[in-house]
Structure 1
Amino acid sequence: MNAALHQFIFPFSINNNAESEFKKQLILEQFIPFSLGDLEQENMFYGVNYRVSHHEMERYYLPFTNNVLFPHQTDDESSFQRYSKRYEISCELKMEHATFPFAIHSVDVTLCPFDLGFITIRTELDCEVINYSLALEFAKRFRVLQNMSKQDDKSYIQHQNVNYNEVEDFIFAVLVPDTMRFLDKENMSEVYFENLPFFIDERMFVESFFSLPKDSEITLEDQYRAARTDGLKIRENPSSGLPIWTILKNIVRFIPITGGGRIRILRWTRIPFAALPINPKTLQPRSLIKCMGSTIIFC
């Protein structure tokens, strides 16, 4: 692989009237308010080799949404308030049969109207030791905040010689250490095992960007595995939930995208798949697929 980047998104609910104090705490932790007009931030949060154009970002959305998504003032509680911090730290996700060296480029904490928010974690894998199946396995493991299986129990994150047995331990100890006290835990008395409020299955949403060598083939099964984050079986073999090749072939269809090219869209009876709006002039994807909890772009 040429590149394997993931964004993990953790939505949460904030305590009533806690947003102002939350912002002060983020500033103390050296998070900075995101500003579309600050062009230096285009190269600040996405890794050494990556840049996000603020001009393209503004043009992408409808004009009347910009004041909500990209407010000029940081005290506007009716808009999305993004606070970002550059980390550039090296870590390892260790499993019984594999080790994943990865970097965390940055973390966002976005505060939204109605006392909602989400944390975004940007990671990049070391592609010298990672293949396609391992990249999927990393996404599958890292998105699980609290261990849910035997494979999860045998996995841990190592950073600066400290081991973190669960992903949530790593996030709230290293990345956003003073965030938990702002989360709304009003209904936590009604649960037995979960530690995080208002979260489905204790897993994060994941967006993945995979860059493969020019002549490499992306099969239908590869795309299906990506949408389901099917990485490895216990014995290090590629995993796929697909029972029969002919079934997969029959549920794939092609649709055109503006500017030429085609996007493969998988249709599965139990998982909704859909195309994402993209700019083919700047991305030129070979394939783009989205399913519940996962988005994958192939280039």
Structure 2
Amino acid sequence: MQTTIIPSKLDVIQSHMSFFLPFGFDARKKDRIIEALEEHGYPYFQLKKADEWGDIYGPGIQVGGKELEQYFYPYVEHKLFPLSIKDRGFHRFTKQFDTPFLFSIRDEQWHYIVRSVDIILGPFGLAFLTVRVESRESCADLADVLEFMQHFRAIDTHLMETKGSHIILENGEALSIYNFLLETLCPFLKTYMISDKRLEGYFGSLPYFDDERMYASAFLFTKNGSEITEEQLFRMGNLNGRTPSGETFVSAHNPEYIRRSLAHTLHDRWSPHTYTVTTEHAYVTVTDQSPDAMQDELVHYMGTHYYNFIIHYFYRIMLLRVSYEYSEIVWSKDEEYVKSLIKLITLFSSWYYFREISTRSEGKELSLAFYKAFNIENLFNEVNLSLNELYKAQENSRAGRMNMLLFILTVFTVVSGIYGMNLVISDWEDPFGWKKYTSYTFFEWISLVTAVSGIGLSGYLIVSMLIKFILRKSRDKKSDLYM
């Protein structure tokens, strides 16, 4: 009989955490958003000046531009680090805060500090808010660190296990996570977030988002020589902190299940001292080595691995967006919407979706871990199927319209042929000849109806084409496909 898992204690002496909040923005107002960012102290991040941004990651952590440049393939690098704001790609704006706060839950309080905040304006009206948080405790139990991560990432606290926590500032003010992020750190941001009126709460901004929480990431240092167990690694990947009563929580009791789960989520290239767990909830690296010995690895976590994560997280959200918008199609009404969706899928696939993004072996392994955790390959295959269905639907619609037009033209051609290609009645040459219609013969009535309906149909087709052209131009102007 299998034994039940007993949670073990692990002392964490230093923790660097990042939380990622995706949101939608109006790409037409991008210039205004950039002005607001610069007014609130968010300068534009450029690769050639990356060496000047050392303090935003914490004391002694320096992410160099050369390291970022040589990590990615050139076609990816140009998207992640565009030369100017006008170029396509991911535009990052960063502000250093160094704001200390207390995290309070169940009569316990822990000291943390917000080092910096990134706001990345990505393609297709999708943006990311990144909050870097560092622990100020000299030593903390792993369960408490994971408890903080689980609660801090829950902006809308609907579930019991995410309720009861709040942020306390130095002036004693107590805030919810939502108010701390979007009213204290970034009070201007809500103005530019797109909200779906059909949904309540913050995440109406992304109705296709699969979880009402931020994605969590961390680099944890434990005491030198600490034993890191499978149960602890499983808890890190699933952010299993504590139960509402304060006991250490593990979301599984079967050791074999934990091993099978880790077989898909654990990167143990540097074991037994360093491990990385990647799941759909969190990406955590833990080591029993000293911070001085792991300085390079910490720099990679803040730099190259950060961008590796961002682009794969972007893949997941965009693929979910396409699947969501495909499900919202009303086939009898949304012909132009279908065309725009085909365009969106095509541009995303050709401009940004790359299976290989890193030139380094570790970067390739991390990319594979993100692919698995975010189920990107299956989502992309599903989108390709959707694209094929859209093409078929568009071809069927076009063929139906063509058949109807050919039918109408054939009728007019046959009737015109019967009349020797001349539908003009001599009475029409007289301005008042139409008054004689009461004496028309059957064939003259056919001639009249055919001529009038032909003129009307021609006018309808011309007006219809003009309206569609104007609407298409207006929709392209409002579209975010070229951002």
- Residue type of the partner of 1:173? E
How has the CA–CA distance of structure 1 residues 296 and 134 changed in structure 2, closer, same or farther, with 3 Å as cutoff?
A: same
Shift of 1:16: 3.8
1:178-257 mapped onto 2 (5 Å cutoff): 178-185=188-195, 187=196, 189-191=197-199, 193-196=200-203, 197-198=205-206, 199-249=209-259, 251=260
Match among 106, 113, 116 for residue 106 of structure 1: 116
Contact persistence 1:97–1:236 (CA under 8 A): no
State how far apart, in whole Å, the 2-side matches of 1:195 and 1:39 are.
32
Secondary structure of the residue that 2:249 maps to in structure 1?
coil
Q: State the AA in 2 paired with 1:294.
A: A
Decide which structure has the larger Cα Rg and report it. Answer: 2
Q: Secondary structure at the match of 2:284?
A: strand
* Distance in 2 (alpha carbons) for counterparts of 1:275 and 1:181: 40
Q: Distance in 2 between matches of 1:285 and 1:108?
A: 30
Partner residue of 2:82?
71
SS at match of 1:223: helix
- Structure 2 equivalent of residue 161 of structure 1: 172
**Offset at residue 2 of structure 1 (A):** 2.6
Inter-partner Cα distance in structure 1 for 2:189 and 2:216 = 21
**Is 1:93 the equivalent of 2:106?**
no
Q: Structure 2 matches for 1:1-299, cutoff 5 A?
A: 1-76=12-87, 78-159=88-169, 160-164=171-175, 166-185=176-195, 187=196, 189-191=197-199, 193-196=200-203, 197-198=205-206, 199-249=209-259, 251=260, 265-267=262-264, 273=265, 275=267, 286-299=274-287
- Distance change (3 Å), C-alpha of 1:115 and 1:285: farther
- How far is 1:41 from its partner? 3.0
Q: CA separation in 2, counterparts of 1:153 and 1:289?
A: 26
Contact 1:5–1:209, Cα closer than 8 Å, also in 2: yes
Instruction: Give the SS at the match of 1:17.
Output: helix
Change in CA separation of 1:194 and 1:81 when aligned onto 2, cut-off 3 Å: same
- Which has the larger displacement, 98-107 or 230-239? 230-239
| Structure 2 segments unaligned to the other structure (5+ residues) | 1-11, 288-483
Letter in 2 for 1:58: E
The 2-side partners of 1:234 and 1:62 are apart by 46
Structure 2 distance, partners of 1:92, 1:72, is: 39
Which amino acid counterpart does residue 11 of structure 1 have in structure 2? P
Q: Is the 8 A contact 1:224 1:266 kept in 2?
A: no
User: Aligned equivalents of 1:63 and 1:51: distance in 2?
Assistant: 23
Say if 1:100 and 1:130, in contact at 8 Å, map to a contact too: no
Q: Secondary structure at the match of 1:173?
A: helix
TM superposition shift of 1:42: 4.1
List gaps (5 residues or longer) in structure 1: 253-264, 268-272
Deviation at 1:54, TM superposition (A): 2.2
Alignment partners' CA distance in 2, 1:22 and 1:179: 8
TM-score by length of 2: 0.53
Distance 1:55 1:40, change over 3 A: closer
Moved more, 8-17 or 53-62: 53-62
Answer whether contact 2:237 2:283 (CA < 8 A) is retained: yes
Measure how far apart 1:102 and its partner are: 0.4
d(CA) in 2 for partners of 1:54 and 1:108? 17
Number of equivalenced pairs: 272
CA offsets per residue over residues 42-91 of structure 1, 9 Å max, x none? 41210113222322121111122211111221222x11100000000101
Cα deviation code 1:147-205 (max 9, x no counterpart): 123443321111132111x31111111111101111111x2x212x4233114332001
Tell me how far 1:228 sits from its aligned partner. Answer: 0.2
Please say if residues 211 and 298 of structure 1, whose CA atoms lie closer than 8 Å, have aligned partners that are also in contact. yes
Q: Secondary structure at the match of 1:190?
A: coil
Bigger proportion of residues as strand: 1
Paired with 2:223 and 2:62, the residues of 1 have a C-alpha distance of 21
In the aligned structure 2, how far is the partner of 1:153 from the partner of 1:210? 25
Normalising to structure 1: TM-score of the pair?
Answer: 0.84
Q: Which has the higher helix share?
A: 2
Could you tell me whether the CA contact under 8 Å between 1:3 and 1:211 is conserved in 2?
A: yes
CA contact (8 A) 1:266 1:289 kept: no
Distance 1:247 1:39 in 2: 43
CA distance in 2, matches of 1:216, 1:138: 21
Contact 2:26 2:125 in 1 (8 A): yes
Evaluate the alpha carbon distance shift between residue 147 and residue 21 of structure 1 in structure 2; reply closer, same or farther with a 3 A threshold: same
Q: Which amino acid counterpart does residue 157 of structure 1 have in structure 2?
A: I
